[in-house]
Amino acid sequence: MAYERWSIPNGMPMAAKLKHRISTVIGTGAGLLILVLTVFFVIRSLSILNGELNPDEFEIRYLNHPVVSALHMLFGIAFVALAPLQFSTKFRARNPKIHRWLGRFLLLAVVITAIYGIVAAAVMPVFGGLAGTTASWVFGSLFIVCAAFGFWNARRKRFAQHREWMIRTFAIGLAVGTQRIVLALLAFFGGYGFYESFGVALWIGFTFNMIVAETWINLSRK
């Protein structure tokens, strides 16, 4: 019966239902963000490989630094595509060595992607003014810090803490996808342009994802 399937000890079936629904929403949202980032990656990669006839101010950054930009996006999309495997209990149980080596690769991907974002904010044209620059610095640094704490806890076999830090890392990694959605919403409902809302949307994307991550960590903490 449905009631028995959702029931948990202490007579609190609604708590289990709520947790399941929240996890479904978060999982669906993460899948949407992965799709958004994949589409963005494909568009930018084709622009770099084929060149743009009339590149705008945003795209010219990628075209002027094709190798570095390609590495940034390749490692970024690799992180987004492969990181979900690390949260799979079945994958970890069946492939413990792959899980460990994949974790090391993802740590490298985080460092390369984050450093590019921090450096790009300092030496390349940045949109959104101070908001865009500070968001790149703050969350680029947090990206590395969260991944480092995740790795440090894994090495010490503190797997509960390792999981929590990697949830934070993954949330930051998906934040650019959230930013793209926020940009579209600001343009559609507020009529704001890409460049004027870029920095604000970046802060909203990172902050929203971190709130979701902390909410899920607290709901799923044992």
Asked if residue 88 is part of any domain, the answer here is yes
Q: What is the pLDDT of residue 116?
A: 85
Alpha-carbon distances, residue 75 vs 67, 135, 167, 188, 195 (angstroms): 12, 20, 18, 31, 25
Note whether residue 5 is domain-resident.
no
Write down the mean pLDDT value for the chain. Answer: 80
Residue 133 pLDDT > 60, yes or no? yes
Residue-level pLDDT at 32 = 72
- Examine residue 1 and state whether it is found in any structural domain, yes or no: no
Q: What is the pTM of this model?
A: 0.78
Question: pLDDT (tens digit, 9 = 90+) per residue, 48-73?
Answer: 556 554 556 666 666 677 777 778 77
Q: Please give the pLDDT value at position 147.
A: 96
DSSP-derived secondary structure letter, 187 = I
* Domain total of the chain: 1
Containing structural domain, residue 91: 12-220
7 belongs to a structural domain: no
pLDDT of residue 2: 39
